[in-house]
Chains A and B, each alone.
Chain A
Amino acid sequence: MIFLRRQLPLLITMITGLLFAGQYYVPHPASEQLLTSATKWLQIVGGFALVLGVTSLFHQHAAKIRRKEEGWGYSLVLYAGMLGTIAVGLWANGKESVEGAATAFGWVYSYMLVPLQGTMFAILAFFIASAAYRSFRARSREAAVLLIAAVIVMMGRVPLGEYLIPLSGDVSQWILNVLNASVRRAILIGVSLGAVALSFKIIFGVERSYLGGGKE
């Protein structure tokens, strides 16, 4: 059993990891066909993962409702929303519109999901303004630099700011193009090197946490 739980997954990971790392550099039709098949399988697995995710969510909230845990009413709303959407989605064959006419699923999308998500993000503007007033203070030299840069970029990104301080547009572009881009690039290189190192650790079985910590 240990072979099935430990050695076999490690072996599969190592073989596929090395195979597809090498595949990138081999433009032979057989190599390309291998990639096509693998990614097609990835798409199929992705579809099943979606079903698995929804099932797990249902399970978790069903337990919450059964035990009448704190906030179980929200779980009930989630159940009603999900079952309702799945029902109209199946009825409409997953289409929001058919030849330009909105289906029931399209109605749920346009008049429930769109306004709800829009509202969620619209209120961010109010909270950001309130948070900026409370916490954006020049407590140290570093905070002062951040504050000045933020004010310049905020001014330079809107027509009124450029109208009031004509130089703010160019200075803001310089901050984004030079300071921001170089720092971001440094972070990207660091993260990428970390990802390469982690990939090697996974391929060669040094990092095994993805196998889970169940009983052997």
Chain B
Amino acid sequence: MLKIDRRIIFLVIGLCTLLPLLYPVGLPIKISSEVRGVYNHIESLPERSVFFMSFDFDPASKPELHPQAIALLRHAFRKNLRVVTMTLWVTGTGLADQIVTQVAKEMGKENGKDYVFLGWSPGNTAVIINLGQNLYNTFPSDYGGKPTKGLPVLDGVQSLKDVTYMVSLGAGNPGVEAWYVFGKDKYKFEMGGGCTGVMAPGLYPLLRSGQINGLIGGLRGAAEYESLIDQKGKAVAGMDAQSATHVAIIILVIICNLFYFSMRRAARQQSG
């Protein structure tokens, strides 16, 4: 049994993912203080405040970070904030553009007036420092090629120092940590973060010390945010599948350990 055919395990995991997606149960999702931290801060911002979002991920992390981005943008647009977006990951440019365009269209927002997508620029963390010095030097034009100077959405914004709140959705480096080290620490803006589930434990020291005021971790975090803004989407739908796979893996680990201990006991009895 310890050497079970791995295709059986693959089948179990496949069914645990597929069945809850086809037949959702909809178990209640408890909201954590980390996710509430980001939500409450956005909720407290006055209208037309500058909300800066960096989509620091690529399609590999789409299942976890795409729903986070959608939920955050819906919340920001609903609060009538000025939304400035960009990415530090070149392979995330298309995805970020799709997300921003889709949510802005859904919420009836106008490009250049209510939001702007700056796109990508080479230099990784140097881009953050440059943005802190001068936004217009770093991005002379937006993703669509329009000059950034004179855009109503950037009215009164010279650099990161003029940003009211910033959230980095990161799937690695550069991501949340880089935005804190090269951005918030020097240019003093309030900051929250979003990341994949596997990265979240690594960002808890930043959270506990108040260096970031909230953290949306993985699909669970996205589902919590969707529940908070009362617009349930892909993350809430995916939580049942994640629940089933987590429980399946735990059961598999317990079974494996039971067999392991019974075999060890049998071996001891034989030798004794």
Residue numbers of A with Cβ under 8 A of B are 24, 32, 35-36, 39-40, 42-43, 46-47, 49-50, 95-100, 106, 109-110, 113-114, 117-118, 120-122, 125-126, 128-130, 132-134, 136-138, 147, 151, 154-155, 157-164, 169, 173, 176-177, 180-181, 184-185, 188
How would you classify the secondary structure of chain B's contact residues: helix, strand, loop or mixed? helix
CB nearest neighbor in A for B13 = A129
- Interface centre among A39, A130, A164, A185, by most chain B C-beta atoms within 10 angstroms, is A39
16 intermolecular pairs with C-beta atoms under 8 Å apart: A39-B129, A113-B59, A113-B94, A118-B63, A125-B13, A129-B12, A129-B13, A133-B256, A137-B256, A137-B257, A147-B253, A160-B247, A176-B204, A181-B204, A184-B204, A184-B205
CB nearest neighbor in B for A162 = B30
CA distance A56 to B260 in the complex (A): 49
CA distance A150 to B174 in the complex (A): 27
Interface residues of B in 1-58 (CB under 8 A from A): 2, 4, 6, 9-10, 12-14, 17, 27-30, 32, 58
A113: B residues at CB distance < 8 A: 59, 91, 94
B151: A residues at CB distance < 8 A: none
CA distance A106 to B138 in the complex (A): 24
Given known contacts A36-B133, A43-B121, A120-B60, A176 and B201 CB-to-CB distance under 8 angstroms:
yes
CB nearest neighbor in A for B209 = A185
Closest chain-B Cβ to A186's Cβ sits at a distance in Å of 9
Cβ of B101 within 8 Å of any chain A Cβ, yes or no, is yes
CB nearest neighbor in A for B32 = A173
Are B4 and A159 interface neighbours, CB within 8 A? no
Are B101 and A184 interface neighbours, CB within 8 A? no
Cβ of B134 within 8 Å of any chain A Cβ, yes or no, is yes
Cβ of B248 within 8 Å of any chain A Cβ, yes or no, is yes
Partner of A129, one of B27, B138, B197, B252: B252
